[in-house]
Amino acid sequence: MPLYKSLVLNSQTIVKIWKITESKDFFSEKLVLEPESLERVNGMKSELHQRGFLSVRMLLAEFGYVDEDLVYDAFGKPHLKDGKHISITHSYIFSAVVVSSREVGVDIEKQREKIIKIAPKFIGYETTYLSENDPTLIQKLTWIWCIKESLYKLYATPGMVFKKHFLVLPFGTASNSTSAWIIEKNQKTKYKAIFMEFEGFGCAITTPEI
């Protein structure tokens, strides 16, 4: 299908989301890939991952970019040659690209019950406002994971630990934003997190809070 969502978060930041229903051949016929990208996608064992990779290139085209405009640093963080900031994610049938004039991170995750079991590995402070009896616990944990993952992508620094270095302030299910902190070497930096839900998936976008 075509573009699933296009959101203008502010004058500096735009997010575009693709719902992946097309075949690999559909994408391959429409895209021109750099040799490195072609080698990378052909090396993926899962067709789901291949289609996720290719759908991201379709989203780049929605922004007016081509595969050649995207480069990766040693940490694996994507960059655009024109100097704008970019963040990329794909999960199962959805992919997203955010382009901004500021640092930015994005993540999409499918809401699944197993996140309750792994929660102790990525939440610390957040236990002060979460309850295991909360019927929206899976939804909230998914958003917290997405926020921390998007911060991890934004900061792109080796050695960062979700439970130790990232902190998400309380939020309600009726809201769509909160604040989050990156804490490292006794320094704290505040970020704004915008989150949403669609078709059983959670999504979060983080940018520096002014």
pLDDT in tens, 132-183: 999 999 999 999 999 999 999 999 998 999 999 999 999 987 789 999 999 9
Element at 139 (helix H, strand E): helix 137-155
Closest CA to 36 of 76, 71, 78: 71
Distance CA 160, CA 148 (A): 10
- What's the CA gap between 4 and 67, in Å, rounded? 20
Domain boundary among 52, 76, 101: 101
Would you state the pLDDT for residue 210? 74
For residues 52 and 22, what is the distance between their CA atoms, to the nearest angstrom? 10
pTM of the model: 0.94
Query: Residue 5: its pLDDT value, please?
Result: 94
Question: By the 8 A CB rule, do 121 and 162 touch?
Answer: yes
User: Domain containing 135: what range?
Assistant: 107-208
Estimate the crossing angle of helix 35-42 against helix 47-62, to 10 degrees.
150
Q: Which two tokens stand for residue 10?
A: 């502010």
pLDDT cut 70: percent of the chain above it: 100
* pLDDT value for 185: 84
Number of structural domains, the chain? Answer: 2
Place of tokens 């391959």: 28
The per-residue pLDDT for 41 is 92
89 and 144 co-located in one domain? no
The pLDDT of residue 1 is above 70: no
